[in-house]
Structure 1
Amino acid sequence: MGMISYWEGRYVLLLMSLFSIYCGLIYNEFFSVPFHIFGGSAYKCRDVTCSDAKSAGLIKFRDPYPFGVDPSWRGSRSELPFLNSLKMKMSILLGVAQMNLGIVLSYFNARFFRSSLDVRYQFVPQMIFLNSLFGYLSLLIIIKWCTGSQADLYHVMIYMFLSPTDDLGENELFWGQRPLVQIVLLLLALVAVPWMLFPKPFILKKLHF
């Protein structure tokens, strides 16, 4: 019986193995030991002997690591803040992509049942609201990664609501971010909320009564 169970679950075991290898490559680790699989590190120690590397962090001196996390972060003082920030941003990107996929599937579901009401008052405002806020945040994350900017995305998103007309200063990632993009997206998000909540119930009530 044991052999039959293993045989029936062979594809699950195969996928688990492949994803384990993938995660190892993403972190450039083998049994939690870092390896420079894809070339030399982009960072070096602050002094010649590397005696202070564990406490004072690392200095960047060449282009970013070509694939995955640079192994030199392992054991440095900045390892935990760096990896926590990376995982948080990756979680946001994957979560927003998954939510967009769910909304797109709801569109096909509405098309299948020929419900134009769901398309107009559910699919469209949901797409606008999600991508005006979280889609915009995902775009900022990608721009920050590509440009190496030190902008504080917490500050950008919080003050997008609290003070949308204030100058972003050093947190500006591209030209026209505040006057053109952020204010327009904020207005779209505000319009999408009543558009999503109010018309459909009243229309259904009118149709059934």
Structure 2
Amino acid sequence: MIKILLCDDHAVVRMGLKMLLNNHADIEVIGEASEGDEAIDLAQELKPDVVIMDLSMPHGKDGLTATTELKKVMPEVAILILTMHDDEEYLFRAIQAGASGCILKSAPQEELLGAIRSVSNGNAYLHPSATKRLMEEYIGSVKQGNSDTFHLLSDREKEVLTLIAKGFSNKEIAEKLVISVKTVETHKSNLMEKLQMKTRPELVAFALKKGLLGYGI
């Protein structure tokens, strides 16, 4: 059972999401919040697997600020940003804040359900247009000659990065590469240091930019 905490300033939106999600046997909405501070308090009390966080909440703490603060006290919780903004600026800010994914409010329900199940398993989720924007930005940065830290990675670190981006857990990566889980964690730590990143979603976004998901590891 995937336990969900909803955070949206519109009661009607929360009601609709709750009715939709509770119709699925593997998902249960265990709490609702109308702004960021309330979401942080409820998350610590209820221990959800996934927090669905509205990005824009004019009253109280906004979604990005709440995401940043919640990840500090509950780094294990997955946060899925729900937004009407199809804009790469919001996407990157959400990833930097520690969100596991970002989905548009206009997305079909099948996509929302898939995103929830994905982030609850420790994977990252980006809606299709966001993935396209990431690729376009990367191509643009290459054309402009921006510096790149990809060359700093060892071959093994690139393998680990690719598998992280494909959604494998540390244990699964260890089994696939025939190394210990501790070694995987060390490679992951080195990756983040070399790439100057702090979260798994940032690594996934970087791997998407690099086209690593096409590698057959």
Q: TM-score, normalised by structure 1?
A: 0.26
- Which structure features the higher share of strand residues? 2
